Structure 1
Amino acid sequence: MWDIAPIHATRAKDCQGEVRIAFAHLSFRKVARTRAVRSKALFSAHFPALGLLNLAQQLRDRFPNRHLRGWVRYFDEEAYETRDEMESAIREWLRPASLGLLGMSTYTSSIDHVADYCRRFIADDVLIVLGGAHVTVVPDDLPCHVIVRGEGCEALVTIIESLGTPDFVTRARTAGICCQLGQTRIDGRAATDNSIETTSVPGFAYDLLSDLGPGTYATSYTRLLGVNPQIYVCTQSCRARCSFCSTYLIHRRMQARSVELIAQDLTLLRNHGYDSIEFHDDDLLQHPDFDALLAVLRQLQLPWFCYARSEILDENVAEKMAEAGCRRVFLGLEAMTQSSLDYLNKATTVEQNRTAAAALDRQGIGAVSGFIIGLPHHTVTDVLAELDAFLALPLFAISCNVLTPDPRTREFMRARRRSDELQAALGGSSGLTVIPDIQRWGLDQPVGLPSVCTAIDKQTLNDLVSVIEYAFYLRPHVTDALYSSARTQTQRDVITAYLAFVRARLAEREPHVTDDLVRARIAELKVSG
Structure 2
Amino acid sequence: RTERDEIAPPLGLLSLARVAQHVGTSVAIEDLNLMYHIVPRLQTAFYETALERLLALSGDVYGFTSMAVDSHVALELARRLKSVRPDVRIVLGGPHFSSISKEVRERFSWVDNVISGEGERGFSALLGEKDLGNAGGELVGTDTYSLVQCAAYFKVNPTRTADFEVGRGCRYKCTFCYSPKFYEGVRNYSIEQIVERFAGLKKIGFERVFVVNDNLLNDREWALGLCRALEEARLGLTWSCYVTLPDLTEEVARRLGRAGCRQVFMGVDVVGRTSETTFHKRFLPRNVQFDRKLKALTDAGVRPTCGFILAPASHPASVDVDATLSAALEARLNGADVVINALSLYPGTAAYHPETPVAADPLQVQLLMDVPSIVEHNHLAGAVPHLFPFHSRYTSESEWREFMFFCHAAHTLVNSFPEAIQSVSSERSVRPSGLLREVSRMSGDLMRLLPAERRPAEQQAALELLTQAAPGDVSPSDPLKAGGAGDALPCQGIRQTSW
TM-score, normalization by structure 2: 0.70
Sort the Cα spacing of 1:156 and 1:334 in 2 relative to 1 into closer, same or farther, 3 A. Answer: closer
Sort the Cα spacing of 1:503 and 1:269 in 2 relative to 1 into closer, same or farther, 3 A. Answer: same
Sort the Cα spacing of 1:455 and 1:134 in 2 relative to 1 into closer, same or farther, 3 A. Answer: closer
Once the two structures are superposed, residues 314-348 of structure 1 have per-residue CA deviations (whole angstroms, 9 ceiling, x without a partner) of: 21211111111111100111134344233221242
CA distance in 2, matches of 1:245, 1:344: 9
**1:340 corresponding residue in structure 2:** 275
Q: Which amino acid aligns with 1:449?
A: S
Identity of aligned residues (%): 20
Sort the Cα spacing of 1:196 and 1:144 in 2 relative to 1 into closer, same or farther, 3 A. Answer: closer
CA distance in 1, matches of 2:327, 2:198: 38
1:447 aligns with 2:390: yes
Verify the 8 A CA contact 1:197 1:255 in the aligned structure 2.
no
**1:102 corresponding residue in structure 2:** 62
Aligned-residue CA RMSD (Å): 3.8
**2:371 corresponding residue in structure 1:** none
1:210 aligns with 2:171: no
Determine which of 78, 103, 118 is the counterpart of 2:34.
78
Determine which of 285, 294, 311 is the counterpart of 1:350.
285
Verify the 8 A CA contact 2:228 2:255 in the aligned structure 1.
no
Q: How does 1:7-406 map onto structure 2 within 5 Å?
A: 28-29=1-2, 45-63=6-24, 71-79=27-35, 80-81=39-40, 82=42, 83=46, 84-94=48-58, 100-121=60-81, 122-124=83-85, 125-139=87-101, 140-141=104-105, 142=108, 143-161=110-128, 198-199=138-139, 201-202=141-142, 205-210=144-149, 213-214=152-153, 218=157, 227-287=159-219, 289-298=222-231, 299=233, 300-351=235-286, 352=288, 353-374=290-311, 376-379=315-318, 382-384=320-322, 386-393=324-331, 394-406=334-346
Q: Which amino acid aligns with 2:32?
A: D
Relative contact order (C-alpha < 8 Å, sep 6+): which is higher?
A: 2
Sort the Cα spacing of 1:290 and 1:244 in 2 relative to 1 into closer, same or farther, 3 A. Answer: same
Tell me how far 1:161 sits from its aligned partner.
Answer: 3.6
Sort the Cα spacing of 1:313 and 1:158 in 2 relative to 1 into closer, same or farther, 3 A. Answer: closer
CA distance in 2, matches of 1:437, 1:401: 24
SS at match of 1:242: coil
Tell me how far 1:411 sits from its aligned partner.
Answer: 0.6
Once the two structures are superposed, residues 63-117 of structure 1 have per-residue CA deviations (whole angstroms, 9 ceiling, x without a partner) of: 3xx7x5xx433333331331333321221121xx6xx211111432222221111
Sort the Cα spacing of 1:467 and 1:258 in 2 relative to 1 into closer, same or farther, 3 A. Answer: same
SS at match of 2:414: helix
Tell me how far 1:422 sits from its aligned partner.
Answer: 4.0
CA distance in 2, matches of 1:526, 1:137: 48
Verify the 8 A CA contact 1:48 1:217 in the aligned structure 2.
no
Sort the Cα spacing of 1:525 and 1:296 in 2 relative to 1 into closer, same or farther, 3 A. Answer: farther
Tell me how far 1:438 sits from its aligned partner.
Answer: 5.4
CA distance in 2, matches of 1:254, 1:356: 25
Structure 2 unaligned regions, length at least 5? 362-377, 420-448, 469-473, 476-499
Sort the Cα spacing of 1:107 and 1:211 in 2 relative to 1 into closer, same or farther, 3 A. Answer: same
Verify the 8 A CA contact 2:360 2:392 in the aligned structure 1.
no
CA distance in 2, matches of 1:193, 1:465: 48
CA distance in 1, matches of 2:176, 2:134: 25
**1:22 corresponding residue in structure 2:** none
Sort the Cα spacing of 1:193 and 1:114 in 2 relative to 1 into closer, same or farther, 3 A. Answer: farther
Structure 1 unaligned regions, length at least 5? 1-27, 30-41, 163-170, 176-191, 219-225, 426-434, 478-499, 511-518
**1:412 corresponding residue in structure 2:** 352
CA distance in 2, matches of 1:386, 1:408: 25
Verify the 8 A CA contact 2:345 2:389 in the aligned structure 1.
no
**1:474 corresponding residue in structure 2:** 416
Verify the 8 A CA contact 1:106 1:114 in the aligned structure 2.
yes
Determine which of 388, 401, 406 is the counterpart of 1:459.
401
Verify the 8 A CA contact 1:197 1:256 in the aligned structure 2.
no
Verify the 8 A CA contact 1:129 1:146 in the aligned structure 2.
yes
Sort the Cα spacing of 1:120 and 1:319 in 2 relative to 1 into closer, same or farther, 3 A. Answer: same
CA distance in 2, matches of 1:395, 1:441: 42
Verify the 8 A CA contact 1:303 1:327 in the aligned structure 2.
yes
SS at match of 2:54: helix
Sort the Cα spacing of 1:129 and 1:405 in 2 relative to 1 into closer, same or farther, 3 A. Answer: same
CA distance in 2, matches of 1:77, 1:390: 32
Sort the Cα spacing of 1:319 and 1:342 in 2 relative to 1 into closer, same or farther, 3 A. Answer: farther
- Number of aligned pairs? 399
CA distance in 1, matches of 2:50, 2:262: 36
Verify the 8 A CA contact 1:283 1:307 in the aligned structure 2.
yes
Verify the 8 A CA contact 2:170 2:214 in the aligned structure 1.
yes
Sort the Cα spacing of 1:339 and 1:378 in 2 relative to 1 into closer, same or farther, 3 A. Answer: closer
